[in-house]
Amino acid sequence: MKIGSYKINANSPVFIIAELSANHNGSLQNALDTIKAAKRAGADCIKLQTYTADTITIDARNDDFKLDQGTIWDGKYLHDLYKEAYTPWEWHEQLFKAAEEEGLVCFSSPFDFSSVDLLEDLNTPAYKIASFEITDIPLIEYVASKGKPVIISTGIAEEADIELALAACKKVGNTNIALLKCTSSYPAPINEANMIMVKDLAERYGVISGLSDHTIGNTVPIVATCFGAKIIEKHFIVDRSIGGPDASFSMNEQEFTDMVKAVRETEKAIGVIDYKLTEKQAKGKEFSRSLYIVADVKAGEVFTEANVRSIRPGYGLHPRYYHEIIGKTAKSDLRKGQRFSLEFI
C-alpha cells in the first residue's frame, strides 16, 4: 500500500495519523494551527472528516435521532452534533494545501457520494471508512471504485461486516485495503482494546492492519505496534481547552509527541529475528563463564571441584567440558588463574 510518498507494508515503519475530526471547534485558524502542530508532534498524516449534518443524517427530533448510548454526547440530536462538529467543505482545499506545505499526507473519511466527489477533486491519496460506515456497502463500493487505498475501521464490526466490506472493495477491483482495530467508545476503556486483534486481522484477512484508537494515553498504540500495527490513528487537538465534541479523548501536542516517540522506540525494540551477535554483544560475551584453574595444581594431581571452576571471564575453556575434566589428572604444574585447556589433561 502506498499513501503519498509512504509505502506501508509488513516491514515499513508505522504510518502515524493525526485525526483532526472536530478539533478545529469551528475555527479555520484552529484547523491550520492543528496541522502545523501535528507536524511538530511527528505525525505522518493529518486526516479530516468530510460530511455536513445533512449528508450524514436528517434534522429529525424523534428518539431515534437522539443520542442515548452512554456516550459523552448523550442528549444531543444527531443533526445538532454533526452541525457542530463538521469541517466546512470550503476549508478542504486550503487544509489539503496547508498539509502539503508542512510535508504531511492529507486525506479524509467521506460519508456519502458527494463527499467522495469533493475529495476526488482534491486528488486525495487515500480514503478512510469510519467505523459506523462499515455497513454502508454502496458507499464502500463507490470509494473503492476510485482505485485509491481504502482504510477501514472495524469499531462496530462483526466478522460478517468485515467480510462484506472487503467483498465490496474487491467487487470493484480494489484489493489495496487496510483494516484498523477500533473500539467505538469515546473514550474507550483500555480493557476493551483487544490489541491481539491487530495481529489476527492481518493474518485472517491478508491485509495491512493497524489501530484507530480512542483510549487515553499511549499504552494501546505501543501494544498495537508490538502486534504488528502498520497504521496508528489518534485524535489530535492543539489544546483541549478550546473544547469541542472530541476534545476530551484527543491528544494534545505534547501527548502526541510522546506517543510518536514511544512508537518509534517500540519499533526499534522489536527489531528483527536474528541469532547472530552484534559486535557489542560479542564483546560482552567475554564476561560469560569459562573454565579456569582456581588453585595451584601439581603434575599428577587430580582435577577437582576445588581447583577447576566455571567462573567469569569467558576466555577459558567452554563449561560444557567440566564433567569430562573432573577426575582427570594434570600432566604439568598449573597456576591459579590460568585459562583451562584440554592440553592440561
Q: Domains (ranges, CATH) in the chain?
A: 2-51+86-270 (3.20.20.70), 279-344 (3.90.1210.10)
The pLDDT of residue 204: 98
Phi, psi of 132 (to 5 degrees): -75, -10
DSSP β-bridge partners for residue 127: 108, 150
List, in sequence order, the alpha helices (H) in 108-252.
113-121, 137-144, 159-171, 196-205, 219-226
Name residues whose C-beta falls within 8 Å of residue 286's C-beta, 6 or more positions apart in sequence. 313, 314, 315
| Grid-cell match 476510485, residue found | 146
pLDDT digits (tens, 9 = 90+) for 183-229: 988 889 999 999 999 999 999 999 999 999 999 999 999 999 999 99
User: In 10 A of CB 15, how many CB atoms?
Assistant: 24
Neighbour-count burial of 273, counting CB atoms closer than 10 A to its CB (0-12 exposed, 13-18 middle, 19+ buried): exposed
Q: pLDDT per residue over 10-56, tens digit each? A: 999 999 999 999 999 999 999 999 999 999 999 999 999 999 999 99
- Which pTM does this prediction carry? 0.88
Q: What pLDDT band is residue 278 in, cutting at 50, 70 and 90?
A: confident
Question: Which residues sit opposite 49 in a β-bridge?
Answer: 109
Q: What is the DSSP string of 250-290?
A: -B-HHHHHHHHHHHHHHHHHH-----SPPHHHHHHGGGS-E
Q: What is the pLDDT of residue 85?
A: 87
Nearest to 171 by CA among 143, 133, 206, 207: 143
Q: Tens digits of per-residue pLDDT, 289-309? A: 999 999 999 999 999 999 999
